[in-house]
Every structure is written in structure tokens, then in C-alpha cells.
Amino acid sequence: MPSSTSSAPRTGAAIRLARLIIPSNYRSSRWPGRFLLWTGHLHNAVGLMISELRDPLLSALKAGYFNAFDSSIYRCNAFWFFLAGFQMVIGGRMMNLHLFSSSNDGKQEGEQFQHKYSQSLSQRKLPREVGWWLLAIGMGGAIAMPASGFYLVGLQGLAILFAL
């Protein structure tokens, strides 16, 4: 019997703490989408600074780009590295579109989004599944390659899950 009375205050404290961290009237911030977008830009910028990624990509471009990647594993690595960066940019943009666009205020799509883009908070949330996927990718990548930027992706997943 004493164990049930001692666990009740801990549970109540955990719920109170969660309510302090995640308010019930939560409005999604713009930063998860922007953070993923800028992570993609940073990813590609770092790739351009690393000669082991930049040089094979440039040699593939000089070779005409078409079917220039099958001949070298270094070219393939560079291709997939930069493609991952562009996918992060697209993912961040899609997050912003999900959070800050609606189809019922009668404006053109581009004009409507530009108006909404200046807002910093949204009534919408990102699906929790997005957070779980980013966390899984980030943690799996960080375990496989500890000296990498996968931690940034994992942190973005946590931020979405905890609705920061």
C-alpha cells in the first residue's frame, strides 16, 4: 500500500512539469521548418568545402553529368551527400507549407503563403510521425557515424515530438 501513495505525487509532479513545458494552447513555431531547411543548406555548404565530396561532383559535371556517377564510388557518395542536403531543404519548406498555409482565404497560393510566411506562430502542429522519423534517422545515423551532423536531425525530431 505505501508504494501506491508514494507514486501518486511523482505522477502528478510529472504531469505538472509537462504542462509547464508544453502549454495546452500550444501554437507551433516556425523554427522546426526553418531549422531543417538551414540544416540542408549547411549540409551542402560543408560538402562544398570538403574536397573529397566537391572534387568528384565537379568531375562528374565536367564529364557531362549524364551517367557520370556509375563509374566511381566517390562520385556516387558525393551525389547522395548533396541530394540528402536538398531533401532536407525541401522537407523544411514542406513543414512551413503545412504549418502556415490554408486554402480558404481566397488569395493566390504564392501571395497567400508569403503573407503567412511572415507569421511566427501557427495554430497547426506537425504530425508526430514526422518527429519520430527524424528522431529515428538522427539516432540511427549518429550511432553509425558519431562524428557527423546526424545529431541535428535527431534534435529536430525531439523538438517536433515535444512541440517546441
Average pLDDT over residues 8-21: 57
152-164 mean pLDDT: 83
Contacts of 99 (CB under 8 A, 6+ apart): 28, 30, 33, 122, 124, 125, 126
How many domains would you assign to the chain? Answer: 2
Residue-wise pLDDT for 33-51, tens only, equals 888 999 999 999 999 999 9
Region of 124 please: left (phi>0), alpha (psi -120 to 50) or beta. beta
In a domain, 135, yes or no: yes
The domain of 46 spans: 27-123
Assess if residue 56 is contained within a domain. Answer: yes
Instruction: Give yes or no: residues 103 and 138 share one domain.
Output: no
Fill in the DSSP letter of residue 28. Answer: E
Query: Would you say residue 9 lies in a domain?
Result: no
pLDDT at 85: 96
